[in-house]
Amino acid sequence: MNTLFAILFYFATLVLVVGTFYRISIYTRTPAPLKIPTTPAPMTSGGVVLRMMREVFLFESLFKANLWTWGLGWLFHASLALVLLRHLRYFTEPVWSWVVLLQPFGMYAGITMVLGVAGLWARRIFVERIRYISTPSDHLMLVLFLVIGLSGLTMRFVVHGDVIAVKGFMLGLMHFNLQPLPANIGLYVHLSLVAVLMMIFPISKLLHAPGLFFSPSRNQVDNPREKRHIAAWARKLEAEK
Amino acid sequence: MADITAPAYRVIPIIPALKPGAMEGSGPYVSGEKMNEALGFPGKLVDDWHDKAIAKMGDLLGKYRSLKVYMDACVHCGACSDKCHYFIGTQDPKNMPVARQDLMRSVYRRYFTLPGKLFPKLVGARDLTREVLDEWHNYFHQCSECRRCSVFCPYGIDTAEVTMAARDILDSVGYGQKYDIEIIGKVHKIGNNLGLPGPALRDTMEGLEEDVKEDTGLDIRFPIDVKGAEVLLITPSADFFAEPHIDSLIGYAKVFHATGTSWTLSSMSSEAANFGMFIGNYEQLRKVALRIREAALELGVKRIVVGECGHAWRVAYSFWNTLCGVGDGADPDDQFARMLQKQLDHRYKQPTHICEFTWDMIERGALAFDKEANDKHIITFHDSCNVARGSSMGGYPGGQFDIPRNVIKSVANHFVEMDPSTTHEKTFCCGGGGGLLTDDLMELRVKGALPRMEVLQQVVDEHGVNFLAVICAICKTQFSKTMPIYGFDRRMVGGVHQLVSNAIRLGAK
């Protein structure tokens, strides 16, 4: 089991990192030939950074769209961020002091994360319009998060796992020095699904995370009259004349 | 067409229930062989359309970051699902922005992503079949590219970009839309969308001068092809004779007259509209825009001013600098753009919207008004989609909302706003934008106007509004056609410069 999980995690990390960088490299390489910010839009780069921060941290556009989706979505994402930060303790020795401070918050965030996912799933099932647009993978994605969250919470609150050993395993992975992983079904489920999540990240709708930063309607400065903007392939048309 | 009736108003705000297939067979006419070929597209649907379409899609995915990112990023959250006026008006689920995008995204997933190649059912991927292609033709011509959905999307996914790509693909396999293709043909051949040739245009302007003289007793000019004029006016050709458009044209002429601005139209480039944007074809978009460059260079003008037209202002404001160099800030080695930019007067923004021009003159005190002349009007303002969400005015974010309102308030006493959830950036499209202003889509246009009509009815009931001011030729035509179906007088709609025209003080200044 040790070796199996070690291979799985090395592979998943490779897919996540290489895949995501590959995607980002495609986005970077693909030109945006026209100025298409959704206006009113900032007319300076500083303004764009602020607009982007509001989207990333507050989900500004979603807030305008639908309060339920915004509330549940924000709860889920903010909780997930806390949970991920809390998990840093498995990868650092000694644990950074701010990660130590986060521990109790991260623990409750596990619960709110599961609530957020459950709410989003309920919306997908019960709201006619959202049900219509949902594919099986949309449902499975939520199931994935739900099971990861529930298995994590189970180990935290119900059947305690040997966290010291898990940490030993993770640190071992990082230093290419394989350590035993505690035999625990909940842990196996938790870790396998996390690995699945890492692997599908670069090939699924989870790309919305990097995608947002490359969205021309949000990241462009609205200054088309002041500065000529032209893509390389479009410039060629001018030479052809 | 006469049998199309208005759908009943609903209690606002309401999210309509789905009626699958409601608009399944309501798409537009297919473009004909000759008109397709005139634009360099295949005459009719080619035999190997499947491979050609997929290849074209791959080509566009490599050229447009917007398309690439938008295909990947959607999480089906549903934020956009109740935001489209066509969905609200028709209840067809495929008119939900996300579902419209998915018509293409499903094909993208099948041919361009690993999960779609391996597990199509799981991720909602589909082969590009003839049925799918027909569905594209139908539903990508039920989108007016108004960008309302993109305001609400957490990733800024703009369905207009997807619709444009889909139409570009359809055209490339010989399966275009009659109205758009026909109109672009006319622009290239004659110089404007309405097919009004130079001599006829000159006649019309002379007639207009006589009419205005009769009305005001003043020699207000409507000059054409005047070399060395300061301003080149590029305006939608509907302004030359359609009602109520022409009243705004008279308004522009009066503003130029009252401020002593020398100006001219161009017979070669007598059209602000650029349907190249609607069909999402960069080459056409550029080719149509190049006429403005040519006219400006030929006439040696210092400023380019754009008349009341929504999508034209988006193209002018956001794209002209890119397409044909009308603007500022070209690189030192950019000969193409600098050639024109060194001719233009950069004390002013290039191009300038006619509302910016008029407002600037009002602020300088160069214009005076008898506001009482508009006292019979209780006015509300409909923000046109392309102006609201695809452009700006005045050099600051949101100027596109303030400036037309400032102008209205300077020339009239009675102004009220409609429901704020349907104005400014959240405005509804009139229902006829995006290249859909054709009789074969009348059912769609009437249903698409419903959300705006409902909100208009509120201010009519509460404040007695009797004038719907707009700054878009398409809005004007669409509303004058559909408003009677909703029981409004067609003369209720008019341009902002029509109001300016009513109140402007001439001669005295």
Query: Under an 8 A CB cutoff, do A38 and B152 touch?
Result: no
Per-residue pLDDT, A239:
80
Check if B376 contacts A (Cβ < 8 Å): no
Q: Which of A38, A44, A203 to mutate to test the interface with B (most CBs of B within 10 A)?
A: A38
CB B445 within 8 A of CB B481: yes
Residues of A within 8 A of B426 (CB-CB) are: 64
Query: CA A103, CA B392: separation in Å to the nearest integer?
Result: 47
Q: Which of A129, A197, A199, A218 to mutate to test the interface with B (most CBs of B within 10 A)?
A: A129
Check if A61 contacts B (Cβ < 8 Å): yes
CB B216 within 8 A of CB B257: no
Terminal alpha carbon distance of chain A: 66
CA of A103, closest CA in chain B: separation in Å?
30
Which carries the bigger pLDDT value, residue A142 or residue B198? A142
Query: Under an 8 A CB cutoff, do B286 and A205 touch?
Result: no
* CB pairs < 8 Å spanning A and B: 228
CB B201 within 8 A of CB B195: no
Per-residue pLDDT, B491:
94
Least Cα distance to B435 among B195, B188, B177 occurs for B177
pTM of the full structure: 0.95
Q: How many Å separate Cα B5 from the centre of its chain?
A: 25
B87-108: pLDDT as tens digits = 999 999 999 999 999 999 999 9
Check if B280 contacts A (Cβ < 8 Å): no
Task: Sheet containing B467-470: give its strands across.
Answer: B379-381, B467-470, B493-495
Does the pLDDT value for residue B303 go beyond 60? yes
Least Cα distance to A73 among A52, A96, A57, A53 occurs for A57
Query: CA B413, CA B445: separation in Å to the nearest integer?
Result: 32
CB B327 within 8 A of CB A224: yes
Does the pLDDT value for residue A24 go beyond 90? yes
Query: Under an 8 A CB cutoff, do B322 and A234 touch?
Result: yes
Check if B278 contacts A (Cβ < 8 Å): no
Residues of B within 8 A of A39 (CB-CB) are: 388-392, 397, 400, 425
Does the pLDDT value for residue B12 go beyond 70? no
Which carries the bigger pLDDT value, residue B189 or residue B43? B43
Per-residue pLDDT, B6:
84
ipTM of the complex: 0.96
Q: Which of A22, A24, A36, A72 to mutate to test the interface with B (most CBs of B within 10 A)?
A: A36
Q: Which residues pair with B352 in a beta bridge?
A: B305
Percentage of chain B surpassing pLDDT 90?
A: 93
Query: CA B283, CA B289: separation in Å to the nearest integer?
Result: 10
B145-186: pLDDT as tens digits = 999 999 999 999 999 999 999 999 999 999 999 999 999 999
Burial of A112 (0-12, 13-18, 19+ CB in 10 A): middle
Mean pLDDT of A77-87: 97
Does the pLDDT value for residue B41 go beyond 90? yes
Percentage of chain B surpassing pLDDT 70?
A: 98
Query: Under an 8 A CB cutoff, do A225 and B321 touch?
Result: yes
Per-residue pLDDT, B2:
52
- Report the mean per-residue pLDDT for chain B: 95
Tokens at B73, concatenated: 């990023």
Check if A228 contacts B (Cβ < 8 Å): yes
B354-388: pLDDT as tens digits = 999 999 999 999 999 999 999 999 999 999 999 99
Tokens at B111, concatenated: 């041919």
B323-350: pLDDT as tens digits = 999 999 999 999 999 999 999 999 999 9
Check if B398 contacts A (Cβ < 8 Å): yes
Query: CA B197, CA A222: separation in Å to the nearest integer?
Result: 36
Neighbours of B183 (CB within 10 A): 22
Does the pLDDT value for residue A228 go beyond 50? yes
Per-residue pLDDT, B15:
78
Q: Which of B57, B60, B65, B117 to mutate to test the interface with A (most CBs of A within 10 A)?
A: B65
Mean pLDDT of A196-205: 96
Percentage of chain A surpassing pLDDT 70?
A: 99
Closest CA in chain B for residue A219: B156
- Cα dihedral across residues B184, B189, B190, B196: positive or negative: negative
Contacts of A236 (CB under 8 A, 6+ apart): none
Query: CA A152, CA A228: separation in Å to the nearest integer?
Result: 52
CA of A205, closest CA in chain B: separation in Å?
6
CA atoms within 13 A on the CB side of B393: 28
Token look-up 């923000």 returns B383
Mean pLDDT of B489-495: 96
The DSSP result for B326-349, as a single string, is: -SS---TT-HHHHHHHTTS-TTS-
Check if A144 contacts B (Cβ < 8 Å): no
Query: Under an 8 A CB cutoff, do B397 and A42 touch?
Result: yes
Per-residue pLDDT, B509:
43
Q: List own/partner pairs for B358-366 with CB under 8 A and 24 or more apart.
A: B358/B255, B358/B407, B358/B497, B358/B500, B359/B394, B359/B403, B359/B406, B359/B407, B359/B410, B361/B255, B361/B258, B361/B259, B362/B406, B362/B407, B362/B410, B366/B258, B366/B259, B366/B509
Query: CA B28, CA B142: separation in Å to the nearest integer?
Result: 9
Q: How many Å separate Cα B266 from the centre of its chain?
A: 21
Query: CA B344, CA B325: separation in Å to the nearest integer?
Result: 11
Query: CA A96, CA A46: separation in Å to the nearest integer?
Result: 32
Residues of B within 8 A of A36 (CB-CB) are: 66, 158, 161, 318, 390
Does the pLDDT value for residue B464 go beyond 70? yes
- Picking from A61-65, B22-26, B372-376, which range would have the lowest pLDDT averaged per residue? B22-26
Within the 319-338 window of chain B, which residues sit less than 8 Å (CB to CB) from chain A? 319-322, 325, 327-331, 334, 336-337
Query: Under an 8 A CB cutoff, do B66 and A238 touch?
Result: no
